[in-house]
Amino acid sequence: MAHRLTHTFKFTTQSTEDVNTTLYNIIYISEEDEKKHFVQYIQYELVDEKYIMLSQVNVKVDRAYYLEIANICLDERERRRYLFSILGKRRFGANSRRYDYYLLHKKHTPEELEEEYETFSDANSFKPCYTEKTDYSLNEYRVHSIKKETSYILFLDQINTTQRKRLHKIFCVELSLEDYNYFAKIEKGKKRVNYLFNKIGKIYFKSLQKEQLALKEPLTSHEELALSKLVTSAQALEKSSRVNDNTTFRKLQEKEDVLCNGDLCLHTSCFSLMNNPSDTQTIKLFQSALDVFILHTKGMSQLDEIITYFQKINELVEAGTIAYLLAKNDNDIKDIFLYMLESFTAWNDALYHTKDEDVKAFNTATIDLADSLRYLVDVCYKFKHEYKCIEVEKEQELKQENTYVITSAKDYFDDVEIDSEIYDELHELEREVDILNYSESYTYELHEKLIRFFDGYTSALNPLFEFKDLSYSLMLLSQKLSEYEIEENSAILLELMRGLVSDLMEWKKSVLVEQSAEDIHYMDKSFYSNIAQIEMSIEHSEFVDDDAIEFF
């Protein structure tokens, strides 16, 4: 049994919103074993002799952070500042290239701020002002500030690189003029970064839902009432650190009047879509309901994955993939669609229709809904790939039966002429991706070269009518590659890319250069199979498990 060490620090602070209001603070630090350390922070204010308003957060930290915050030599102000810095760093999350906003005023819109950041980012290469290396990862930080009328907006970039992933997060933090002047005087990069994380943690803590508690026997004081909210079970602490907080649940509850009906509309339109996926009106109703859902849930990070997968389903609807698959009368795809609808129903029930507020049930339902949506998207790509392969096989069988005329490369290019510059361009592109032959891992340099390679083939093939389908598929693949933060060291993606590039070069040689192929479409099945597998591989590379990454 490991040595159990606990500390409880109690002190008061003045409210920044009302100098006449006293806030009572409790920091409770517990060591459950040699690896798991938890910090609990409670802040409350007196309403009257009977009631208090209380906010609480529990944070899991590693040994170094635990010892630092438990240091009895720290004064109360420093300990609280350090706590908020830790809380701010825990807001990193696992979705790459995502903006998180911590603003003092609502007059600055995310769209406006994102545009300002992108303008700066496009014009400046990433030069970290502070770099922090741990046993698990490398963190690089950059800070950019913008002056507003009554405040400053600071963009804090954090790039976290591990053996498995490279995640880029942009924190948008608003500072008052007084706080910015203090920040500007800080010289060391580490202290500047920690100061911003302190502000992130403080703004985040203020956003948490407050709970009103009544003083009842056997409790005899407000402090005892507040201390009764401390979590003492190791299992409960572990659970609370995973659940993170109930902010999303509370925000959705507050929007029940507008959002509950929106959820039902989206659920109903999804059901209609399953039964009539080609109907224009049904598609419009689904897209309208989705727009309303996104409007009211945007910015709630816990729902990012759900929103993303609903958007991917919309893309599949617009591309006709959903209608194409459901027209196959495949019971599996319908069962998976129904499973998603059942998960959506359970999510709504956990949020709005239970008598007792059960945040844990809501969080579980949220994970289940995200999983069911991901599963639906997965099988749509998989089933489309399988059906397309079957169709190509049938088409080739028909060609072999002379139902269709097979066009040889020689016959085709008797009537079509290719500009010699195209051959030179394709040759140059092939030289660029020659790195594939000796690459041991999938790197960002290789990723950029492959995008240029597929863009080049798209441009070269687009003028040739017989190859427009292939050109279009390569264009879509290039776009998808550009949109995603691809995982480095992906052995699977590396092999898939080698297969597709090898097929394209072989096809180019036998069809475009030597013109010896008996059928100009003889590689189509292999092309579309490889492209579909690559799309399936990258669609979900952006989502990773928070628990799998250590930032502290």
Q: What pLDDT score does 548 carry?
A: 33
Task: Give the start-to-end residue ranges of the domains of the chain.
Answer: 1-90+208-227+235-241, 92-190, 247-384, 405-539
Q: What pLDDT score does 257 carry?
A: 59
Regarding pTM above 0.85, the answer is no
Q: Show the CA angle centred on residue 386, arms to residues 382 and 391, nearest 5°.
A: 145
Q: Are 519 and 402 in contact (CB under 8 A)?
A: no
pLDDT per position as a tens digit, 310-333: 888 998 888 888 888 888 888 888
Q: What pLDDT score does 401 carry?
A: 55
pLDDT per position as a tens digit, 336-351: 888 888 888 888 887 7
Q: Are strands 138-147 and 211-214 parallel, antiparallel or unpaired?
A: unpaired
Q: What pLDDT score does 549 carry?
A: 32
Q: What pLDDT score does 155 carry?
A: 96
pLDDT per position as a tens digit, 400-411: 555 456 888 888
Is residue 144's pLDDT more than 90? yes
Residue type for 264, please? Answer: L
Mean pLDDT calculated for residue range 173-198: 94
Paired strand residues for 23: 13
pLDDT per position as a tens digit, 39-80: 889 999 999 989 999 998 888 777 777 777 877 778 888 888
Q: What share of the chain is helix, strand, coil (3-state, %, to 5)?
A: 60, 15, 25
Name the residue with tokens 């039902």: 264
Q: What pLDDT score does 5 carry?
A: 45
Paired strand residues for 54: 44, 211
Backbone region of residue 115 per phi and psi (left: phi > 0; alpha: psi in -120 to 50; beta: other values) = alpha
Please spell the DSSP secondary structure of 406-427, one letter per residue.
PPPHHHHHHH----HHHHHHHH
pLDDT per position as a tens digit, 113-131: 989 999 998 899 899 999 9
pLDDT per position as a tens digit, 492-524: 788 888 888 888 888 888 888 888 888 888 888
Q: What pLDDT score does 442 carry?
A: 82
Q: Are 505 and 456 in contact (CB under 8 A)?
A: no
How far apart (Å, rounded) are the C-alpha atoms in residues 319 and 388? 14
The sign of the CA dihedral 386, 390, 396, 400 is positive
How far apart (Å, rounded) are the C-alpha atoms in residues 532 and 528? 6
Buried b (16+ CB within 10 A) or exposed e, 444-453: eebbebbbeb
Kindly give, in sequence order, each residue whose CB lies less than 8 Å from that of residue 205, ignoring residues fewer than 6 positions away: 41, 43, 55, 57, 84, 87
Q: Show the CA angle centred on residue 209, arms to residues 203 and 211, nearest 5°.
A: 130
Q: What is the mean pLDDT of the chain?
A: 80
Q: What pLDDT score does 237 carry?
A: 65
Paired strand residues for 383: none
Q: Are 167 and 178 in contact (CB under 8 A)?
A: no
Mean pLDDT calculated for residue range 202-220: 88
Q: Are 480 and 535 in contact (CB under 8 A)?
A: yes
Whole-number Cα distances in Å, 364 to 187, 208, 237, 335, 339: 45, 20, 17, 21, 16
Buried b (16+ CB within 10 A) or exposed e, 102-120: bbbeeebeeeebeebbeee
Most confident of 30-34, 83-87, 356-360, 433-437: 83-87
How far apart (Å, rounded) are the C-alpha atoms in residues 521 and 400? 13
Pick the closest to residue 352 from 289, 263, 292 (CA basis).
263
pLDDT per position as a tens digit, 244-283: 455 677 677 666 655 555 557 888 888 888 888 888 899 9
- Least trusted range by pLDDT, from 5-19, 170-184, 418-432: 418-432
Is residue 542's pLDDT more than 70? no
Q: What pLDDT score does 68 carry?
A: 79
How far apart (Å, rounded) are the C-alpha atoms in residues 132 and 161? 11
397 band by pLDDT with thresholds 50, 70 and 90: low
Mean pLDDT calculated for residue range 286-310: 83
